[in-house]
């Protein structure tokens, strides 16, 4: 194998596939990056057996030559060293050549590295995915879906299925749900799907986070293929495979209250800042609890009291308050996490009593909702 490649493109591809490489693997070859040169271009692969990422660099793009292939072939290189070397090479072009016995020479300008490679035949094959039931979704929407749900997944391994986001496809709609049993995030989006195929799968939160980091900010379509135990995201020159989590995701629909006793409409930013300030003193306390009380004069009072530090009280004018009076306590962090995902100036908060979960959603937008369980204070 021998080729000459633009360094910037190589660096970008290496950074992308590195997101799947981990040093904590039980399969030694997975600490490497697989490089394959064909007559069409160069493909890099990284994997930790949960996530696999393949990045393709075509020979030319828009009439611009990116790779010059002198000889086809394949090799696996230690990811840690290879990624550091590539970043620090002196010139804009890199030549890579595999010599006898898996020895690799990397040349750029006046610098030359010799690395020991590993046998590419030993590298695990990527999952084979049948692509008949794919659906497509714009990149920016996909990133929004992830951002608005993935923060609510559980970080505890006691119920592994909750460390993922539940993706359901039914009637041309994709529904994404995440919960750690103290809060829940739900986002829906219309999708274009050719078949009337329904899905109900759980994608690890970690996979979605990594995917979101790799995807460019644009509205090009990403193709999504779901199989029994894998999901594949296909973007331009990029394949991202993730294992699905096993187990049934709990039915969360019954958690979401249908009616409410108190409805408050407030400005998103003002509410977020008020909770942020109230949490300054609550942060030291064990559970970072903030209290909210409705006032008779269309206002709400946000307060927190940590006996050993002090207390803070702040009044906020609401645009409207309907229903019963209310006092409720909740985790400031959970509410702030939820508010940061909402777009739009106004939010509607629906309460069904001091001990029941409450809903936060953007005004006039039914596609997104955040549910939070209150904290009992005695």
DSSP states of 272-284 as a string? HHHHHHHHHHHTT
- Which of these ranges, 79-88, 227-236, 284-293, 312-321, has the smallest mean pLDDT? 284-293
The yes or no reply on domain 258-372 and CATH 3.40.50.300 is no
Q: Is 258-372 the same fold as 135-233+242-253?
A: no
Residue 194: its pLDDT value, please?
76
d(CA 170, CA 164): 19
The two structure tokens encoding residue 26: 């039980």
- CB atoms under 10 Å from CB of 189, counted, come to 16
Phi, psi of 321 (to 5 degrees): -135, 120
Phi-psi region of 323 (alpha: psi -120 to 50; beta: other; left: phi over 0): left
Fold of the CATH domain 2-122:
DNA Polymerase III; Chain A, domain 2 (3.10.150)
pLDDT at 90 over 90: yes
DSSP 8-state code for residue 307: T
Over the chain, what is the mean pLDDT?
94
As its CATH architecture, domain 135-233+242-253 has Roll (3.10)
Give the pLDDT confidence score for residue 23 in this predicted structure: 83
The pLDDT tens digits for 180-190 are: 999 999 999 99
Three-state DSSP at 241 gives strand
Per-residue pLDDT at 195 exceeds 80: no
In this prediction, residue 193 carries a pLDDT of: 80
Q: Which residue has the higher pLDDT, 101 or 73?
A: 73
DSSP bridge pairs for 184? 179, 371
Instruction: Note if the pTM is more than 0.85.
Output: yes
- Residue 16's pLDDT is what? 96
- Residue 378 pLDDT grade (very low, low, confident, very high; cuts 50, 70, 90): low
Q: What is the DSSP string of 153-220?
A: S---TTSGGGGEEEEEEETTEEEEEEE-SSEEEEEEEE-EESS---EEEEEEHHHHHHHHHHS-SS--
Question: How confident is the model over 86-92, as a mean pLDDT?
Answer: 96
Q: Give the pLDDT of residue 134.
A: 86
- What is the 3-state composition of the chain as percent helix, strand, coil, each rounded to the nearest 5? 20, 45, 35
**In this predicted model, what pLDDT tens digit does every residue of 16-67 receive, in sequence order?**
999 999 888 888 999 999 999 999 999 999 999 899 999 999 999 988 999 9
For the chain, the structural domain boundaries read: 2-122, 135-233+242-253, 258-372
Q: pLDDT tens across 109-132, in order? A: 999 999 999 999 999 998 888 877
Give the model confidence (pLDDT) of 317-332 as tens digits.
999 999 999 999 999 9
């Amino acid at each position: 194998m021998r080729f000459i490649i633009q360094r910037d493109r190589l660096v970008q591809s290496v950074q992308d596939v590195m997101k799947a490489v981990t040093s904590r693997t039980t399969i030694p070859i997975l600490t490497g990056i697989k490089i394959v040169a064909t007559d069409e271009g160069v493909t890099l692969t990284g994997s930790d057996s949960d996530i696999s990422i393949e990045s393709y660099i075509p020979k030319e793009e828009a009439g611009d030559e990116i790779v010059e292939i002198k000889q086809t072939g394949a090799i696996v290189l230690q990811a840690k060293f290879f990624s550091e070397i590539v970043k620090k090479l002196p010139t804009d072009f890199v030549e890579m050549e595999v010599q006898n016995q898996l020895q690799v020479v990397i040349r750029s300008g006046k610098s030359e590295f010799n690395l020991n490679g590993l046998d590419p035949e030993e590298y695990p094959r990527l999952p084979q995915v049948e692509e008949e039931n794919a659906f497509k979704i714009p990149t920016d929407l996909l990133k929004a879906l992830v951002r608005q749900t993935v923060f609510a997944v559980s970080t505890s391994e006691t119920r592994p299925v909750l460390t993922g986001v539940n993706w359901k496809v039914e009637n041309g709609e994709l529904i994404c749900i995440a919960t750690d049993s103290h809060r829940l995030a739900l986002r829906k989006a219309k999708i274009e799907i050719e078949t009337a195929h329904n899905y109900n799968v759980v994608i690890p939160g970690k996979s979605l986070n990594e995917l979101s980091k790799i995807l460019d900010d644009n509205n090009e379509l990403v193709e999504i293929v779901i199989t029994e135990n894998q999901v594949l995201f296909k973007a331009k020159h990029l394949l991202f495979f993730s294992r699905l989590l096993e187990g049934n995701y709990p039915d969360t629909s019954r958690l979401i209250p249908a009616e409410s006793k108190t409805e408050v409409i407030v400005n998103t930013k003002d509410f977020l800042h008020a909770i942020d300030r109230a949490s300054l003193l609550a942060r030291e306390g064990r559970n970072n609890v903030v209290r909210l009380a409705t006032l008779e004069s269309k206002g709400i009072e946000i307060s927190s009291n940590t006996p050993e530090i002090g207390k803070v009280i702040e009044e906020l004018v609401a645009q409207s308050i309907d229903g019963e009076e209310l006092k409720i306590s909740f985790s400031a962090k959970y509410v702030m996490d939820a508010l940061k995902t909402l777009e739009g100036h106004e939010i509607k908060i629906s309460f069904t009593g001091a001990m029941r979960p409450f809903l936060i959603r953007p005004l006039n937008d039914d596609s997104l909702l955040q549910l939070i369980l209150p904290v009992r204070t005695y």
